[in-house]
Amino acid sequence: MRVLVVEDEEELADAIARGLRLHAIAVDVAYDGREALEMAAYTPYDVVVLDRDLPEVHGDDVCRELRAGSAGGRVLMLTAAGQVRDRVDGLSLGADDYLVKPFTFAELVARVRALSRRASRAAPSTLERAGVRLDPARRTVTRDGRDITLNRKEFDVLHELMRACGRLVTSTELRKSVWDEYADAGSGVLRVTLTSLRRKLGAPSMIENVPGRGYRL
């Protein structure tokens, strides 16, 4: 899952990002509305955590632009205004959920995960291929009934490949979906992650490398 946090209070934005990363979520941060729109135009985010009162471009206008464009991610709007009318206004702009400040971090994580599931609701909750069973909610993997322990990035790479259902996934697509913009996600890191993933999944190998193009199951 990849999330964009849009919040002009830098300390709060960075704290949200750090917390989400601890839950194995790749996070990018924008500190104003204009930067958010530029980033969303380049990267397909699963969820956008959007403060409503933003400089440069107001959060309401950011939400409208996201909905008018081709971005398929869900929008969780943050605001200090908690009146019913404020919530109705936010949802009418196209936001998928609404969270009033101050909020508990556990609730924020739960809402982000719920929105991510809605964003990909066409996909089955449990993915299976070549004897491998992956449960995104529980973050568990088995192959032919054998439990496989993966680290966060190995799990996310496998998840992206299984979601593709045999379609070729480029290295760029994997880096965008699994690593955030501040992570060292060069080709070497991706190759090391895939090598370790192949070893843990065991034989026969199910991940095919198409040189110069990408990877597929």
Tens-digit pLDDT profile for residues 188-217:
888 899 999 999 999 888 999 888 888 988
- Model confidence over 39-67: pLDDT tens digits? 988 888 889 999 988 999 999 999 988 88
pLDDT tens digits along 131-173:
899 988 778 999 998 999 999 889 989 998 988 888 888 888 8
Across 3-16, average pLDDT:
94
Give residue 90's pLDDT. Answer: 59
Per-residue pLDDT band for 1 (boundaries 50, 70, 90) equals: confident
Over residues 60-71, the pLDDT tens digits come to 999 988 887 755
Residue 184 has pLDDT above 60, yes or no: no
The pLDDT assigned to 148 comes to 94
The 3-state secondary structure of the chain, one letter per residue:
CEEEEECCCHHHHHHHHHHHHCCCCEEEEECCHHHHHHHHHHCCCCEEEEECCCCCCCHHHHHHHHHHCCCCCEEEEEECCCCHHHHHHHHHCCCCEEEECCCCHHHHHHHHHHHHHHHCCCCCCCEEECCEEEECCCCEEEECCEEECCCHHHHHHHHHHHHCCCCCECHHHHHHHHCCCCCCCCHHHHHHHHHHHHHHHCCCCCCEEECCCEEEC
pTM over 0.75: no
How much is the pLDDT for 25? 86
What average pLDDT is seen over the chain? Answer: 85
Residue type, 111: R
pLDDT value of residue 82? 58
pLDDT at 122: 47
Domains in the chain with CATH codes: 2-119 (3.40.50.2300), 127-216 (1.10.10.10)
At residue 73, does pLDDT exceed 50? yes
pLDDT for 107-138, tens place per residue?
999 999 888 877 654 455 688 888 899 988 77
CA 114, CA 61: separation in Å to the nearest integer?
Answer: 24
- The pLDDT score that the predictor gives to residue 186 is 57
